[in-house]
């Protein structure tokens, strides 16, 4: 089976049924030309960012405002209190003690808010750390069957390169994009990409494209890997989602610059 002009249209690759030779220099060249089968994870949030997110809770904001008001009232003394205190000898000591201890209520509210925020942020931080550790372990342990030197071997998903001949079977989650070379009643669940719950039949003559992130529901076959990592369908979606956030920030900055120019021209 020969496939030319993969991805870039400039590199010609010829792959036989025996698969790649497995030569490390060839694998490194393919990884360098077409990328690795790895999608960089989103940068984790820092502990301070998690604290800031926890402070955005409406209930905590109300408690913070109430605590500040309580502290302000506890230290506030009306101007006529001194003259009235001179005429009231009895009970003066009790009133003075209550006034001195009035700040405790506001301080207790603030202390409780700080404890809630720190506990929430620490729980989120520990959960995110555990999730990333589990995700990295799954990525390292997940393996896929490919044909190299005529033999079917199991390799880590991250070691797959463009041009590999991969064997797909029932229950597999496709880790890369590819073209179906040989199929036996192969049906794919593409609901993760299209939202359609119906299984899509794949044949060599009709709809041979296999996309990463989809599940094999029936049958088996072999596919020629054509895109990995950020160049695969899953990688493109993740990249577009990240680019959308960046574009919004750039649009906001452009709007601010335009407003600033308009203010300068009007003045």
pLDDT in tens, 58-71: 988 898 888 888 88
pLDDT for 133 equals 72
Residues 6 or more apart whose CB falls under 8 angstroms from that of 39 comprise: 229, 230, 234, 235, 238
SS3 91: coil
Segment (H or E) for 219: strand 215-227
- Residue 145, number of CB atoms within 10 A of its CB: 15
pLDDT in tens, 29-44: 998 999 888 887 777 8
Integer Cα distance of 70 and 253 in angstroms: 40
pLDDT in tens, 119-128: 999 998 888 8
* CB burial string 88-112: b at 16+ within 10 A, e below: eeeeeeeeeeeeeeeeeebeebbee
Question: Percent of the chain at pLDDT above 70?
Answer: 71
Q: What are phi and psi of 116, to 5 degrees?
A: -65, -45
**Averaged pLDDT, 72-81:** 68
Of 58 and 245, more confident:
58
pTM of the complete model beyond 0.75: no
- 158 neighbors 32 (Cβ within 8 angstroms): no
Of 102 and 192, more confident:
192
- Residue whose structure tokens are 């060249």: 29
7: left (phi over 0), alpha (psi -120 to 50) or beta: left
pLDDT for 192 equals 81
pLDDT for 89 equals 47
pLDDT for 97 equals 54
- Residue 160, number of CB atoms within 10 A of its CB: 25
pLDDT grade for 178, boundaries at 50, 70 and 90: very high
């Amino acid at each position: 089976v020969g496939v030319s002009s993969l991805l870039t249209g400039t590199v010609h690759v010829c792959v036989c049924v025996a698969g790649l030779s497995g030569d490390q220099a060839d694998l490194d060249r393919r990884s360098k030309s077409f990328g690795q089968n790895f999608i960089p994870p989103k940068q984790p949030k820092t502990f301070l960012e998690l604290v800031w997110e926890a402070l955005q809770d409406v209930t905590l904001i109300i408690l913070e405002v109430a605590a500040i008001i309580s502290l302000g009232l506890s230290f506030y003394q009306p101007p006529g209190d001194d003259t009235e205190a001179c005429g009231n000898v009895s009970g003066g000591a009790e009133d003075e003690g209550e006034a001195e201890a009035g700040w405790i209520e506001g301080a207790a509210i603030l202390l409780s808010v700080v404890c809630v925020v720190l506990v929430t942020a620490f729980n989120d931080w520990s959960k995110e750390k555990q999730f990333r550790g589990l995700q990295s372990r799954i990525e390292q342990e997940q393996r896929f069957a490919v044909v190299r030197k005529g033999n079917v071997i199991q390799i880590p998903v991250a070691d797959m390169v463009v041009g590999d001949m991969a064997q797909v079977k029932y229950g597999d989650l496709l880790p890369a994009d590819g073209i179906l070379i040989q199929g036996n009643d192969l049906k794919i669940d593409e609901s993760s990409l299209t939202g359609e719950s119906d299984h899509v039949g794949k044949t060599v003559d009709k709809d041979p494209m296999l996309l990463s992130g989809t599940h094999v529901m029936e049958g088996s076959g072999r596919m020629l890997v054509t895109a990995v990592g950020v160049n695969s369908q899953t990688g493109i979606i993740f990249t577009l989602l990240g680019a959308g956030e960046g574009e919004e920030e750039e649009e906001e900055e452009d709007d601010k610059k335009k407003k600033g120019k308009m203010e300068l021209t009007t003045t």
